[in-house]
């Protein structure tokens, strides 16, 4: 909502249908007549729901922003599938995290296996902010050039951000 309010960007706020009334109240509280043009659209989005995704069709979003979205491994595949179906290539997620929590590591590994590159933007004791980029990879190794861009990924074991070649990571990759 801050992007819409401060930057005037076209923003669509999504959530599960039963939470949309609360989202609409939040929009009403933050947008008045003078900011009507920047008022976010509110729409349902259940991860993996073809009908919800179809209603959001159009140009791919330039950026997906999410928070508090990865708490259990069962939600990871539907989330990544939805991101792919929306055709976005950039995402920033603030993810609640606790030492020993497996859901974030599982999410990062699944994202890498799906062709997303991740980098850690910020972290605290209880949260991490992760950037995901899905580049258009070369079709073959022969299409690589000396100027092939480097991407960064988050090493799950060390928590450090490391460089990686801009190709989808193999399933055997440690990250």
Write out pLDDT tens, residues 119-136. Answer: 888 888 888 888 999 886
- Give the model's pLDDT for residue 161: 46
Cα gap 71→75, rounded to integer Å: 8
Whether 95 contacts 133, CB under 8 Å: no
Highest mean pLDDT (candidates 40-44, 55-59, 92-96): 40-44
DSSP state of 43: E
Query: Around Cβ 109, how many Cβ atoms within 10 Å?
Result: 19
Query: Which residues are bridge partners to 152 per DSSP?
Result: 163
First to last CA, the chain: 33
Cα gap 159→156, rounded to integer Å: 5
Q: Are strands 127-133 and 90-96 parallel, antiparallel or unpaired?
A: antiparallel
- What domains, with CATH codes, occur in the chain? 1-44 (no CATH), 62-137+144-175 (3.30.110)
Whether 91 contacts 121, CB under 8 Å: no
């Amino acid at each position: 909502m801050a992007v819409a309010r401060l930057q005037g960007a076209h923003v669509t706020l999504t959530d599960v249908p039963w939470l949309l009334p609360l989202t609409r109240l939040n929009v009403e509280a933050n947008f008045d007549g003078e900011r009507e043009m920047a008022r976010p659209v509110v729409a349902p989005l259940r991860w993996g729901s073809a009908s919800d995704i179809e209603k959001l069709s159009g140009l791919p979003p330039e950026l997906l922003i999410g928070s508090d979205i990865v708490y259990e491994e069962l939600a990871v595949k539907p989330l990544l599938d939805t991101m792919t179906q929306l055709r976005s290539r950039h995402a920033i997620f603030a993810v609640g995290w606790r030492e020993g929590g497996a859901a974030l590591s599982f999410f990062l590994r699944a994202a890498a296996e799906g062709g997303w590159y991740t980098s850690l933007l910020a972290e605290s004791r209880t949260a991490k902010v992760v950037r995901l980029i899905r580049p258009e990879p070369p079709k073959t190794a022969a299409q690589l050039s000396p100027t092939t861009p480097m991407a960064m990924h988050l090493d799950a074991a060390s928590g450090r951000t490391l460089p990686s070649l801009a190709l989808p990571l193999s399933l055997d990759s440690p990250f």
